[in-house]
Amino acid sequence: MKSIPVLLLGCGGVGRQLLEHVVNCRALHSQQGLVLRVLGVCDSRSLLVVDDVATKGMQDSFLMEICRAKSSGSSLSSLLRLGQCQIFKDAEMMDKVIDIAGLLGRSTGLAVADCSASSETVNILKQAVGLGCCIVLANKKPLTCGIEAYEKLISNFRRIRFESTVGAGLPVIASVTRLLASGDPIYRIIGSLSGTLGYVMSEVEAGKLFSEVVQAAKSLGFTEPDPRDDLSGMDVARKALILARLLGQQINMNDIKVDSLYPEELGPNSMTAEDFLRCGLSSIDRDFQERVRVASSNGKVLRYVCMIEGSRCEVGLQELPKDSPLGRLRGSDNVDHTIWCILNIARATLSRPLAKIV
């Protein structure tokens, strides 16, 4: 049985789903000859780690206890009473992660999984790569910093996985990577890449208020911790940048044209996320209702679209025909848009009309 040690950075909605998935897939992993040994879990304040990282892993009952504690708002340190672990806080916690990476990176292929929404993890990840670790990311921010950081992170392509950064659990990155590896050129990617904005657009189309729908998307766990990351288009722009860089474009965030759904005076420099949700958001309702009405009177719907073609990379709101592939999308449904996106890549690749492939 091959034992793969795992260190998890970030234990919010996605991090907890990952831990539960690991626990629920033990039998499957065993058939595959694998055991994932979770050594440590950290959030923004502390790292909880087993006392002997070379041999021990957290028990499944303890992993589930971590998930329960974090979803009820308790701190990781509240779990110290259960024994088994040590806790490291603030600057010490990242030093400890690097110690563990140094000890286990090359010898075991330690996997450092980043399920945080932080831009601060990039330095740890770069060091982990240098120490021979594998890195796995749901967090888009490390891959969308400067181009040098990106190149360092992907420098050993066999040791990085970032499938969830674009299209959640669907194989967008895998499909693009395989097409590129086969030698086929990809001329264009067009997609509706945000679960949040997909959900928002189809709910406002059905007559609901923009502010109510954004609040619902947050409760459903679709949004980023600050939903303005989605509404500003920045989250989609990050996905676009990851895809564009994968296609070989040497570009940065400021090369992407991004269309925001809220005015600058409602931005993070002017108010907190709480104030934005409590009062800022509803001030956009009327404007948005009008945009939906105008689109509908033209027989169209609004979709937030990502377009990558040649050196062009842009994301923004578009009026599209209701029966177009993106216009037909409903809710946060990722399946349609991803399949469409992949087909569109295939269409560009094969230079044949989409209809023939469908």
226 binding partner (options ligand LTNE7NMQ, ligand NDP, none; Cβ < 5 to 8 Å by kind): none
Q: What is the DSSP letter of 165?
A: G
Q: What is the DSSP letter of 150?
A: H
- Judged by DSSP in three states, 50 sits in strand
When computed from its CA atoms, the radius of gyration of the chain, rounded to whole angstroms, is 21
Question: How near is the Cβ of 168 to ligand LTNE7NMQ at its closest, in Å?
Answer: 6
Question: How near is the Cβ of 230 to ligand LTNE7NMQ at its closest, in Å?
Answer: 5
139 binds ligand LTNE7NMQ (CB under 6 A): no
Residue 269: count of CB within 10 angstroms of its CB = 7
Nearer to ligand NDP, 117 or 281 (CB): 117
Among candidate residues 276, 191, 189, the one with its CA nearest the CA of residue 229: 276
Active-site residue, 208 included: no
User: Do 217 and 199 meet the contact criterion of CB atoms below 8 Å apart?
Assistant: yes
Question: What is the Cα–Cα distance from 63 to 86, expressed in whole angstroms?
Answer: 14
**Count residues contacting ligand LTNE7NMQ (CB under 6 A)?**
9
Among candidate residues 151, 93, 154, 103, the one with its CA nearest the CA of residue 124: 93
10 binding partner (options ligand NDP, ligand LTNE7NMQ, none; Cβ < 5 to 8 Å by kind): ligand NDP
- Judged by DSSP in three states, 323 sits in coil
State the residues that interact with ligand NDP by CB under 6 A: 9-15, 42-45, 115-118, 120-121, 138-140, 164, 168, 195, 221-222, 224-225
Chain centroid offset of residue 22 CA = 18
Question: Which one of residues 230, 246, 303, 344 is an interface residue with ligand LTNE7NMQ (CB under 6 A)?
Answer: 230
222 binds ligand LTNE7NMQ (CB under 6 A): yes
Question: Which one of residues 175, 223, 318, 338 is an interface residue with ligand LTNE7NMQ (CB under 6 A)?
Answer: 223
- Return the biggest CA–CA distance within the chain: 65
Q: Which are the contacts of 46, defined by CB distance < 8 A and separation ≥ 6? A: 75, 76, 77, 87, 88, 89, 90, 93
15 binds ligand LTNE7NMQ (CB under 6 A): no
- Counted residue by residue, the chain has a size of 358
Question: How near is the Cβ of 196 to ligand LTNE7NMQ at its closest, in Å?
Answer: 3
Question: How near is the Cβ of 170 to ligand LTNE7NMQ at its closest, in Å?
Answer: 11
150 binds ligand LTNE7NMQ (CB under 6 A): no
Name the segment binding ligand LTNE7NMQ (CB under 6 A); options: 38-46, 52-60, 86-94, 219-227: 219-227
191 binds ligand LTNE7NMQ (CB under 6 A): no
- Judged by DSSP in three states, 184 sits in coil
Active site members: 239
Which residues in this chain contact ligand LTNE7NMQ in the complex, by CB under 6 A?
168, 194-196, 222-224, 230, 235
